[in-house]
Chains A and B, each alone.
Chain A
Amino acid sequence: MDLSLSTRTESGAAGDRTVVVVGGEIDVYTAPKLREQLIDLVSSGQYHLVVDMEGVEFLDSTGLGVLVGGLKRVRAHEGSLRLVCTQERILKIFRITGLTKVFPIHGTVEEAVAATD
């Protein structure tokens, strides 16, 4: 399955959050599309992102690199990038790479949007 992307804005306790809903496979073929989306959001001044990965079927280290790149970009503007993921097969690669310590990972979009720290 190809990559699908959509964005919406939700209001949380600490202000508006841009929710990026990602579906399908994030690999070396599709990762550039996700990278462009994250760059576009940051370029347009949206520095607080929530990436909903519940519809992601496959994620490899290329996809991780893109998410890390997104985190670096929002942090340069004192922003945040939170992930929503409960799928064990996706969480596994975050654990293997130690990125569970780098990304805040939430169980629901509501929780991620409400998070303030």
Chain B
Amino acid sequence: MARVELELTALPAHVRTARLVVVAAARRAGLADELVDELRLAVGEASSRAVGLHRAHAPHTPVLLTVTDDPRLLTVTVTDHGPAADPQVQDLAEDLWDRADDGTDDHVDPDVALAVLTGLVDDVSVEAGEQGTTVTLRWPLPARGGPIGLPSTAAAT
């Protein structure tokens, strides 16, 4: 198992930092190429959401990201200290339309970001508590090849 932890000051520029680090860790863990774009977008949405919430509610507290790879599962968590999540957006297009306004449309609406994540990634869980919200994203990892001659299932045990 390998683990990467990242604490981000709530700056928009560091949303890109988060994408770069998580994509690098995921590639190293062996995430399939066809899932990397999905991961990049999902981590971008989750991090933008958290950074936006921190800028409004906890500007001096860092956003926490972790990337963990068990042999067969890549897990990314993004933990914020904003108001509890409410992933109940019914109509995304309508919500985006309603919230797009002069001067305010450069912020991620936290609930829209969650709804995009849910539509994008098969395995998403959202845990909202008093301190904030943890978004957990999971992707399968391919079996790693074991020593030459051994089937990969043997290497995983």
Contacts and interface: CB of A to CB of B under 8 A. Distances in A.
| Majority-rule SS of B interface residues | helix
Contacts of A5: none
A72 interface: yes
Contacts of A65: 96, 99-100, 105-109, 112
A35 B106 contact: yes
Interface of A is mostly: helix
A55 B100 CA distance: 24
Interface of B: 12-13, 15-16, 19, 37, 40-41, 44-45, 48, 51-52, 91-93, 96-97, 99-102, 105-109, 112-113, 116, 119-120
Contact of A97 (B52, B96, B106): B96
A32 interface: yes
Residue of A32, A62, A71, A72 contacting most chain B CB atoms (<10 Å): A62
B41 A93 contact: yes
Interface of A: 25, 27-29, 31-32, 35, 39, 58, 60-62, 64-66, 68-69, 71-73, 89, 92-93, 96-99, 101-102
Contacts of A71: 100
B102 A28 contact: no
**Top 7 A-B pairs ranked by shortest CB distance?**
A98-B93, A69-B100, A96-B119, A69-B105, A68-B100, A29-B12, A65-B105
A112 to B, nearest CB: 20
16 contacts: A28-B12, A28-B107, A29-B16, A31-B105, A58-B44, A61-B108, A61-B113, A62-B107, A65-B100, A65-B107, A68-B97, A69-B100, A89-B41, A92-B41, A96-B116, A98-B91
Given A27-B16, A97-B92, 15 more contacts: A27-B12, A27-B15, A28-B51, A28-B106, A29-B16, A60-B108, A61-B45, A62-B106, A65-B99, A65-B100, A69-B102, A93-B120, A96-B92, A98-B92, A102-B97
Contact of B105 (A25, A66, A92, A96): A66
